[in-house]
Amino acid sequence: MRDFVETFDPAAEAPAAPRLLRQRTLKSPIGCSGVGLHSGHTVSMTIRPAADGTGILFRRTDLPRGAQDVAAHWRNVVDTRLATTIGNDAGARVGTIEHLMSAFAGCGVDNAIVELDAAEVPVMDGSAAPFVFLIECAGIAEQRTARRAIKVTRPVVVDDGEKSIAVHPASGFSVSFEIDFASGAIARQSLGLRFMNGSFKTDIARARTFGFEHEVSALREAGLARGGSLDNAVVIRGDTVLNVGGLRYDDEFVRHKILDCIGDLYLAGGPIIGRVEGARSGHALNHKLVVALMTDESAWTYTDRAEEGLPPMGSDHVAEPLASVRA
């Protein structure tokens, strides 16, 4: 009788090593110009590649050295009236960063230097799509350092009357939002998307900012919306959308709220692994959620493991719908 010899392959039995995703930046610089939504000033902007660990850094080229740089970080938010504005201790400010930040988040860009010759990011067409186009034209380069995400470990909720926004533990990243306006052009809209490597480009990026015609005069007297037009915003009169061609999505308004939310949340300093639920939230409440989350160290932990829900949201993938209701 032959002896039975058992063979053992340690490589076959060992658990798979954790899969790490790498930080990403642009392959080459790329630029554009446009008008500032609130300032009305013409702005030239160049997005440049940046080293591992830089994050998103805004650089005001019209200011003296030493006062130019403002990191896109929740601690640097100085204003949330109708847009998100960041600033530094030297007094430099950069406004309306949320659409560009949303594009960076949606394309999975961790590190970039954004050069501007004015105090506001150009609004382009009022969505994130032009910025996604720029990023895709420049190309994305993988870097050596592992990408680090903020994994939510317990619920965090902030509210202000009928407005609220919360983030809950989850295995990936999803956003659910609902809005409710008296105008019949908007009414009540609700949408939820679970970003499985996200279809940001298809489902969210093209949704434009919006406003009401009867509010324009008051906004401009307050120094806001001076660059706003039908070319860069959806404008509503009563129950009617004034833009030729109408809407890009039937529920474009709630999709834009999700776009803004993604950009505001990226100021946490990295992608979030969690389930976000918002009701009538805007920039101010979005920022309060980030502050509440990041200042409570018991509510989150860092992870660089893809298995814990850290995929890039890049535009070459798809998103899974959670729900879509329009009434």
Q: Hey, is 172 helix, strand or coil?
A: coil
Identified catalytic residue from 214, 283, 287, 317: 283
Q: Are 148 and 303 in contact (CB under 8 A)?
A: yes
* Cβ within 8 Å of residue 292, ≥6 positions away: 156, 158
What's the CA angle centered on 213, arms 123 and 97, to 5 degrees?
20
- Looking only at the bridges linking them, the beta strands covering 30-35 and 42-49 are antiparallel
Nearest partner of 83 among 273, 249, 227, judged by Cα: 227
Structure tokens that stand for 46 in this block? 């160049």
CA dihedral 310, 105, 208, 176 (to 10 degrees): 30
Q: Is 214 a residue of the active site?
A: no
Helix ranges (DSSP H) in the chain: 10-13, 98-107, 129-138, 200-203, 216-221, 252-265, 283-294
Instruction: List Cα–Cα distances, 307 to 25, 53, 182, 288, in angstroms.
Output: 22, 22, 43, 29
Rounded distance, CA 101 to CA 119, Å?
16
List, by residue number, the catalytic residues: 283
